[in-house]
């Protein structure tokens, strides 16, 4: 099991230069925007504008703070994300623009390279019961407070990530809203 503290991470410019992103985790480690298999990040969005284009990438965006973000994705009707809305999946290689509803927002972004990985993102409330995790799953804290990971107690802060690795399995108990991310390796054709 690996714990990544969001407070220890450093923001960097978006691929298109229009804002900043805080990379939480990337595979392979050290990969850049053009050669990752999967990537987890949090973006601070303070103005309307286009998204960066990522060829051969599938994305899922989840609003985690703010009053809303309206997404215009080529070939679809516009949709407004809120902090209670389901995560929104879309291809990274189509034109996308976004408009803020009322002030800046923060979003959580998962990207995976087609043919190498697929992913799924779900909102979950730990207070609804223990959550059993397994390899290729990650938990992202959307609040702060104590949790129990198997036999260990720890405190999570907003944005902290728990990554379950190859030999890990166990349960998490707490009272936090979280995102559950599943990353699945895919075989190439």
DSSP letter for each residue of 82-121: -TTSPPEEEETTS-EEEEESSS-EEEEEEEEETTTEEEEE
**Looking at domain 10-113, what is its CATH homologous superfamily?**
Jelly Rolls (2.60.120.10)
pTM here is: 0.88
Q: What is the pLDDT of residue 141?
A: 86
DSSP letter assigned to residue 7: G
Q: What is the pLDDT of residue 130?
A: 64
CATH architecture of 119-185: Sandwich (2.60)
Q: Angle CA(101)–CA(90)–CA(184) in degrees, nearest 5?
A: 130
Can you tell me the distance from the alpha carbon of 24 to that of 11, in angstroms, rounded to the nearest whole number? 10
Q: What is the pLDDT of residue 15?
A: 67
Q: Which residues of the chain have pLDDT under 70?
A: 15-18, 128-130, 133-135, 165-170, 187-189
Q: What is the pLDDT of residue 169?
A: 58
Q: What is the pLDDT of residue 168?
A: 56
Does 10-113 match 119-185 in CATH topology? Answer: yes
Q: What is the pLDDT of residue 16?
A: 64
Q: What is the pLDDT of residue 58?
A: 98
Helix, coil or strand: residue 178 = strand
Can you tell me the distance from the alpha carbon of 64 to that of 83, in angstroms, rounded to the nearest whole number? 5
Can you tell me the distance from the alpha carbon of 59 to that of 40, in angstroms, rounded to the nearest whole number? 10
Other C-beta atoms lying within 10 Å of the C-beta of residue 167? 7
Q: State phi, psi for 130 to the nearest 5 degrees.
A: -65, 145
β-strand partners of 98: 49, 71
- Domain layout of the chain by residue ranges: 10-113, 119-185
Q: What is the pLDDT of residue 139?
A: 83
Which residue, chain included where needed, has tokens 């609040």? 143
Q: What is the pLDDT of residue 87?
A: 97
Can you tell me the distance from the alpha carbon of 37 to that of 48, in angstroms, rounded to the nearest whole number? 28
């Amino acid at each position: 099991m690996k714990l990544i503290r969001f407070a220890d991470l450093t923001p960097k410019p978006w691929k298109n230069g229009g804002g900043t992103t805080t990379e939480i985790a990337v595979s392979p480690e050290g990969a850049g925007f053009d050669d990752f298999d999967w990537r987890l990040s949090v973006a601070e969005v303070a103005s309307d504008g286009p998204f960066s284009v990522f060829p051969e990438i599938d994305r899922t965006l989840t609003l985690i703070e703010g009053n809303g973000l309206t997404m215009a994705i080529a070939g679809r009707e516009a949709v407004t994300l809120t902090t209670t809305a389901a995560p929104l999946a879309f291809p990274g290689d189509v034109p996308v623009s976004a408009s803020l509803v009322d002030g800046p927002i923060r979003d959580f972004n998962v990207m995976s390279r087609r043919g190498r990985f697929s992913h799924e993102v779900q909102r979950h409330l730990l207070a609804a019961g223990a959550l059993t995790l397994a390899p290729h799953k990650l938990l992202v804290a959307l609040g702060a407070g104590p949790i129990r990971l198997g036999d260990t107690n720890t405190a999570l802060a907003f944005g902290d990530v728990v990554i379950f690795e190859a030999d890990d399995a166990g349960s998490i108990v707490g009272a936090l809203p979280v995102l559950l991310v599943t990353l699945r390796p895919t075989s190439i054709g």
